Chain A
């Protein structure tokens, strides 16, 4: 059977090209690998290589022809036992671009197209804490450790790796005691090699384990962000759901104290912008423990953002055997009716202080801790907005393209009718964090700024 030689697409964007030169003539024998013609695209001159064997029959497009559409039959090739001079040129189909079974839009009528976003779970609540449950004052640092240790006891596949997590007991002591209980197989000290160990952790998750990868701080995870995003977040999708990656990347995030610009950044908005990741940023100890346990059990890759300045703060944690919190649910930290303050991580503490001060001035603020940054609990934000009609976002991080920006967009898109004042954000100043004590203080979010913003949206300034 004669073979049609068609104008090839030689780059992802090529639609037409110039048939610059024929290097074979009618009647020439062709073997696979022979260069038959030279074709010019907008970028380069490329060689058109034969794939099949045979004899070159009719040349249908002369050399020097410009604007030859991809897919046009340019010559015929006679197969074994055929007479090359005897081949009919095919009848050209005018509409070659979208022939069923051969075009780019094959098989689907555009009218069929429907984008169906998955429904969010709405019926999930924090577990009941039965009346009479005892509470223990626990630091966030201990709560994180307790959460990890409980999951390590329950599931042999869970292990921790990172710099100084084992013998040193953790650079910030979050992994204190884990080496003693679980041994070096499950508490692994790595060299200082973030890109490498983030990749190894991610690969181990693909191989069926449940790694907890500690970054000494998330600033250092910049060297490893390729694995967090390209390897961990995208592979399940790219594999059509075959490749699971249940890894937890955790460590302190955001500004610490007087460590300068390279060690002081909030990566919440970065990771929260990536489909395929779950991003958690708890504030208090009970949430830190309950969400850490949920993160480890999660089938998806989780970025778990802690805060160094909060590690040492103590909060009550319920003495329950298995306290696991739902991912993707915000928490009302304080109920109020006049204004909503949305916050996460360290800013929740500032928002609660601001609410106390506002109460003294007769303003009843509701404080919402987002807890999970992706997926974001839109419903909780909008429900509170419908109640208070005024909303301030407090975020320890830069303002541009922030979680605050996202919350504002949600309020504009779906809460516009409830707004009695413009949504206002209180963030860090838009500068690299300075070292000098006075400048650092000026750059970071604080309680008075949140109070001022709340008063402004209540038209009380």
Chain B
């Protein structure tokens, strides 16, 4: 496999001598110390938030099976550590987030009420988009969460625009733009990387590499499967992160976000993760073996991993069980709310098409 151009010298060069220093300096810093030192409180928080996503998505899958959720529904199960690790490091008052259609987890990571998210999935008036967006089109401008976009890769250019707005307003914030290994082959992603690097836009590009673009494994779609190297042509530093470990993701976030906040331009981070469920609910899963999925579940599950850390740090099984019970209750309430609240008024058909009256 082709390697990104890197210095082949045996002795390490000083930054001044190493013309590629900027491209690998973040990764070097990350490799020196790749796990975040979380307090017990932070660990518990990560656990709770990841578990909420897991249980919420399981329930969403059930509601889909019952016909309560229609159309497309892309679940985030398996990828929880990415959204939680990254978004826990944001400055909620300043930074913005944008993502594709697999967006439930990113919204839950903000602490947005699961009820209004689930009610959007069931297409109800109380949903966060009044039932007019659905699973793929959810937004919370209050939290600076800008969607929720259904066209693969479009959110990357839009994220470039959010970053331009941060820079233009000099508000100290940056944009976190997520996309998948599938979107990573869209041309506009690279158009945006070029401008972001050219203009030193405050943006962190995050490839959530869940190994499959719908049913196509990365090796079958990508000439360069090391996505963190894909910014090299634009001189964007890359980071290669284990997306199944929330503490690694969080540590990488600390390093990347600092770089961007200091006005040094964009970072490209690849988080290697795994989607347990199908691409969407109607995925026959013929492109991978059951054993492959089971192996990841048993050996690399991000929630089991943080649970282990918690138990080593003095939490008890009972404590964690109580948390699980509490989260199940929250999710059940959200599902009940989403099932029982009314559909939008027919009068909503023509609202929100335009803002102005003409």
- Contacts from A to B (Cβ < 8 Å): 6, 8-12, 14, 32-33, 35, 43-47, 49, 51, 70-71, 101-108, 112-118, 120-121, 124, 159, 185, 190-191, 193, 195-209, 211, 226-227, 230-231, 235-244, 275-276, 278, 298-300, 326-328, 372, 375
> Are B151 and A231 neighbours in the complex by a CB distance under 8 Å?
yes
> Are B141 and A51 neighbours in the complex by a CB distance under 8 Å?
no
Chain B residues closer than 8 Å to A9, beta-carbon distance? 64-67, 281
Please give me the residue from chain A that is nearest to B285 by CB atom.
Answer: A47
State how many residues of chain B have any CB contact under 8 Å with chain A.
Answer: 81
**What is the minimal beta-carbon distance from B187 to any residue of chain A, in angstroms?**
7
Knowing A203-B160, A238-B133, A241-B130 touch, does A101 contact B165 (C-beta < 8 A)? no
**What is the minimal beta-carbon distance from B233 to any residue of chain A, in angstroms?**
13
**What is the minimal beta-carbon distance from A6 to any residue of chain B, in angstroms?**
6
Please give me the residue from chain B that is nearest to A9 by CB atom.
Answer: B67
> Are B358 and A328 neighbours in the complex by a CB distance under 8 Å?
yes
Distance of A298 Cα from B314 Cα, bound (Å): 58
Of B66, B158, B355, chain A has the most CB atoms within 10 Å of the CB of B158
Distance of A211 Cα from B168 Cα, bound (Å): 11
Chain B residues closer than 8 Å to A237, beta-carbon distance? 132, 352-353
Distance of A300 Cα from B148 Cα, bound (Å): 20
> Are A241 and B351 neighbours in the complex by a CB distance under 8 Å?
yes
> Are A46 and B284 neighbours in the complex by a CB distance under 8 Å?
yes
**A102 in complex: contacting residue of B58, B68, B169, CB < 8 Å:** B68
Task: Write the B314-351 contact mask toward A (1 if CB under 8 angstroms, else 0).
Answer: 00000000000000000000000001111100110111
Knowing A71-B66, A112-B346, A207-B166 touch, does A102 contact B150 (C-beta < 8 A)? no
Q: Which 9 A-B pairs have the closest CB atoms?
A: A203-B161, A199-B157, A196-B191, A8-B65, A207-B165, A240-B130, A328-B358, A203-B158, A44-B284
Please give me the residue from chain B that is nearest to A329 by CB atom.
Answer: B358
B282 interface residue (CB < 8 Å to A): yes
Chain B residues closer than 8 Å to A236, beta-carbon distance? 352-355
> Are A195 and B67 neighbours in the complex by a CB distance under 8 Å?
no
**What is the minimal beta-carbon distance from A182 to any residue of chain B, in angstroms?**
12
Chain A residues closer than 8 Å to B146, beta-carbon distance? 203, 206-207, 243
Distance of A8 Cα from B138 Cα, bound (Å): 25
Knowing A193-B194, A199-B158, A231-B151 touch, does A6 contact B66 (C-beta < 8 A)? yes
B195 interface residue (CB < 8 Å to A): yes
Distance of A326 Cα from B340 Cα, bound (Å): 44
Distance of A195 Cα from B188 Cα, bound (Å): 6
Of B68, B166, B194, chain A has the most CB atoms within 10 Å of the CB of B68
Q: Tell me which residues from 117 to 170 in chain B have a Cβ below 8 Å from any Cβ of chain A.
A: 124, 127-133, 137-141, 146-151, 154, 156-166, 168-169
B15 interface residue (CB < 8 Å to A): no
> Are B158 and A298 neighbours in the complex by a CB distance under 8 Å?
no
B276 interface residue (CB < 8 Å to A): yes
> Are A239 and B71 neighbours in the complex by a CB distance under 8 Å?
no
Task: Write the B187-226 contact mask toward A (1 if CB under 8 angstroms, else 0).
Answer: 1100110110010000000000000000000000000000
B59 interface residue (CB < 8 Å to A): yes
> Are A44 and B286 neighbours in the complex by a CB distance under 8 Å?
yes
Chain B residues closer than 8 Å to A12, beta-carbon distance? 70-72, 282
**What is the minimal beta-carbon distance from B230 to any residue of chain A, in angstroms?**
15
> Are A198 and B64 neighbours in the complex by a CB distance under 8 Å?
no
Please give me the residue from chain B that is nearest to A120 by CB atom.
Answer: B358
Chain A residues closer than 8 Å to B148, beta-carbon distance? 238-239
- Contacts from B to A (Cβ < 8 Å): 58-59, 61-62, 64-68, 70-72, 96, 98, 124, 127-133, 137-141, 146-151, 154, 156-166, 168-169, 187-188, 191-192, 194-195, 198, 276-277, 281-282, 284-286, 290, 294, 297, 339-343, 346-347, 349-358
Distance of A328 Cα from B61 Cα, bound (Å): 45
Chain A residues closer than 8 Å to B59, beta-carbon distance? 51
Distance of A47 Cα from B289 Cα, bound (Å): 12
**A117 in complex: contacting residue of B68, B128, B350, CB < 8 Å:** B350
Distance of A204 Cα from B162 Cα, bound (Å): 5
> Are B161 and A206 neighbours in the complex by a CB distance under 8 Å?
yes
Knowing A47-B285, A51-B61, A239-B137 touch, does A101 contact B340 (C-beta < 8 A)? yes
What are 10 pairs between A and B in contact, CB < 8 Å?
A8-B66, A102-B66, A115-B350, A191-B194, A197-B195, A199-B156, A200-B160, A208-B169, A242-B140, A278-B354
**New A-B pairs, 18, CB < 8 Å, besides A33-B276, A105-B343, A236-B353:** A33-B297, A49-B61, A112-B346, A115-B349, A116-B350, A190-B195, A191-B194, A191-B198, A195-B157, A196-B195, A201-B161, A204-B164, A208-B165, A240-B131, A241-B355, A244-B355, A276-B354, A327-B356
Please give me the residue from chain A that is nearest to B156 by CB atom.
Answer: A199
> Are B281 and A204 neighbours in the complex by a CB distance under 8 Å?
no
> Are A240 and B157 neighbours in the complex by a CB distance under 8 Å?
no
Chain A residues closer than 8 Å to B357, beta-carbon distance? 118, 120-121
Distance of A205 Cα from B162 Cα, bound (Å): 8
Please give me the residue from chain A that is nearest to B151 by CB atom.
Answer: A230
**What is the minimal beta-carbon distance from A327 to any residue of chain B, in angstroms?**
5
Chain B residues closer than 8 Å to A49, beta-carbon distance? 61, 277
Please give me the residue from chain A that is nearest to B70 by CB atom.
Answer: A12
> Are B71 and A240 neighbours in the complex by a CB distance under 8 Å?
no
Of A103, A196, A201, A244, chain B has the most CB atoms within 10 Å of the CB of A196
**A202 in complex: contacting residue of B158, B341, B351, B353, CB < 8 Å:** B158
**B141 in complex: contacting residue of A6, A104, A108, A242, CB < 8 Å:** A242
**A207 in complex: contacting residue of B70, B156, B161, CB < 8 Å:** B161
**What is the minimal beta-carbon distance from A24 to any residue of chain B, in angstroms?**
14
Knowing A113-B346, A200-B161 touch, does A209 contact B168 (C-beta < 8 A)? yes
> Are A115 and B346 neighbours in the complex by a CB distance under 8 Å?
yes
> Are A121 and B157 neighbours in the complex by a CB distance under 8 Å?
no
Please give me the residue from chain A that is nearest to B77 by CB atom.
Answer: A33
Distance of A10 Cα from B137 Cα, bound (Å): 21
Please give me the residue from chain A that is nearest to B336 by CB atom.
Answer: A101
